[in-house]
Amino acid sequence: MDQHGIPARGSRGPGALEPWKEMSAEELEKQYSPSRWVVRVEPEEALRTFSGKGTEATKNAQATRRCQLHAPYGDGKGDRMDIYFPDVQSEALPFFLFFHGGYWQSGRGIYLCGHSAGAHLASMVLLASWTEHGVVPNLRGLFLVSGIYDLEPFVHTSNNALLLLTLEDALRNSPQQRLDVAPAPPAGLACPILVMVGEHESPEFHRQSWEFCQTLCRGGWKASFKKLPDVDHFSIIENLTKKDYVVTQIIMKTISQKC
């Protein structure tokens, strides 16, 4: 049992309900409302700050880096991504992709990082049947930050009012559910996967991160879990603009080494 009173997945007896299934609708809603777990400021201010810092960082990057904005990667109206180029061109440079809404492509060495729903999108890469396409992805590192890996409880919250996910949709698109039932071992060399969650996040976010890490380990992936102190769902990613931030350093160290 952890500090939030949630037992590890392996400690629950056969047939035991997932913790979220024993929660009231009100409590479940709170569990999946990250701003309600911020302790440094009020929820509304946390959301405003997160949006403001993201906009500021994006404008700064666009003003100081060579970039290609709104590059299409599909036929859909929203199928666009922003590409930021290095100062020096080289085929040996790695490719780092951040999922804030979910996109990824190929490169010599691919590193994926996803936050919140973006972590879910990044983790879905692990479910792909690469052998059917005759390729092995050159995935060198995966950084999953404050993610949701089991969508079933999400179906029962107000967040689903716009998505309209059915239970079938949720199960089909839940890496936790699918890998737990039929573990998919890594194709080729297993890259390191770091599953992270902030100290000031809901017990459900803590549970999902820990259980997904355990599922990955059972499937043969080189997964590790890290709870970051003194950060919440928003500051955990806002701090990536700081070079001395622990997550920034972990990402840079991983990229600088061969998987």
| DSSP per-residue codes, 110-157 | EEEEEETHHHHHHHGGGG--GGGGT----EEEEEEES-----TGGGGS
Weakest-pLDDT range from 183-187, 245-249, 252-256: 183-187
17 pLDDT higher than 90: no
Q: Please count the structural domains in the chain.
A: 1
Judge whether 11 lies within some domain. no
Judge whether 4 lies within some domain. no
Q: Are strands 80-84 and 67-72 parallel, antiparallel or unpaired?
A: antiparallel
Judge whether 243 lies within some domain. yes
3-state helix, strand, coil in the chain (%, to 5): 40, 20, 40
Report whether 247 contacts 196 (CB < 8 A).
yes
Judge whether 189 lies within some domain. yes
Judge whether 1 lies within some domain. no
Q: What is the largest CA-CA distance in the chain?
A: 56
Residue with tokens 């990402």: 251
Q: Which carries the bigger pLDDT value, residue 16 or residue 155?
A: 155
**In which region does residue 213 sit, left (phi positive, over 0), alpha (psi from -120 to 50) or beta (all else)?**
alpha
Judge whether 231 lies within some domain. yes
For residue 185, which of 130, 117, 106 has the smallest C-alpha distance?
A: 130
What local confidence, expressed as pLDDT, does residue 179 receive? 87
CA within 13 Å, CB half, 176? 22
| pTM of the predicted protein model | 0.74
Judge whether 179 lies within some domain. yes
Judge whether 10 lies within some domain. no
Q: How far apart are the first and last CA of the chain?
A: 33
**Domain carrying residue 144:** 20-256
For the chain, percent of residues with pLDDT exceeding 70: 81
Residues 37-92 have pLDDT tens digits of: 888 889 888 888 877 877 888 888 888 888 888 888 788 877 787 877 877 777 66
Q: Which carries the bigger pLDDT value, residue 10 or residue 175?
A: 175
Q: Give the three-state DSSP class for 200.
A: strand
Rounded to an integer, the average pLDDT of 179-185 is 70
Residue 101: which CATH number? 3.40.50.1820
Both structure tokens of 201 = 């996040």
